[in-house]
Amino acid sequence: MRVVETGAELREVLLEYAGLAGRRVLVPTMGALHHGHLELVRLAREAAGPGGTVIVSIFVNPIQFDRSADLEAYPRPLESDLEKCLAAGVDVVFLPDRQSMYFPDRSTTVTESLLSSGLCGATRPGHFDGVCTVVLKLFLLSGCHAAVFGEKDFQQLAIIRRMVRDLDVPVEIIECPTVRESDGLAMSSRNVRLTSKQRADAPRIRRVLAAAAGLRDVEEILASARSGIEASPLARIDYLSLVDAETLQPVTRLERPAVLAAAVFYDEVRLIDHVGVAPL
């Protein structure tokens, strides 16, 4: 496994893999790798083929954080991450710092203006500008044929697909289903920051959303989900929305596939989850 820290080094190392028969597949991460990330790597290896190249980027992207405290507190267990990448058969780990990724006077940002208007985009100003910008840079630096993203961050996944479509980016986007703990909590690097009481309570997010999704009236769905989350004194709702599964715009009737999505704070730890809701 090769570990590189700049875009120039990445391109130089990838020249050694240029003659291989398989595809080049990227797994963009911010580190603090868990079993969910390793499932992304497994799908990447499958997509790359026996002779392909799997690249994992580990970069805590500062321009997608709307709260400096969240950026500072984000876990960075680098030694453990590299061990996991090696064990998973990753070929190249790209480990840049801020200075190598962004010029100090940078003035170009990638903005998506429709799918990012609600949900996390409404409560985290500039977040998806940062996501789109870094993802496009990683695509260009790696020259990847495909990239794997987790379905847990479904708004992010939809926005990246839209960016790729609108800008004719020649990268296949591969979706990985949400990987969960045994009690249903969606795996997240932020889970390690929960206290024991918060960790025990957090699976309610999934349970409440799944139960509400079985109802057939939009107002009842939202009311049920809200009351279920607010029943916990530890949980604070950031947003709770029922949106169209394709456009991510709020719905008032279940005429098309929809998504019930929530972001919930446990103190300063923000968790997201969602469930699909079938049309009537």
DSSP 250: B
The helix (H) or strand (E) run that includes residue 34 is none
- H helices present in the chain, as ranges: 7-15, 35-48, 68-73, 78-87, 98-101, 120-123, 127-142, 154-166, 196-201, 204-212, 218-230
Q: Which of 34, 35, 37, 145 is catalytic?
A: 37
Catalytic status, residue 37: yes
Contacts of 112 (CB under 8 A, 6+ apart): 128, 132, 159, 162, 163, 166
C-beta of residue 200 within 8 angstroms of C-beta of residue 166: no
Residue 234: burial class (beta carbons within 10 Å; 0-12, 13-18, 19+): middle
Q: How many helices (H) and strands (E) does the chain have?
A: 11, 9
Q: Give the three-state DSSP class for 61.
A: coil
Give the residue numbers annotated as catalytic, written as ranges: 37
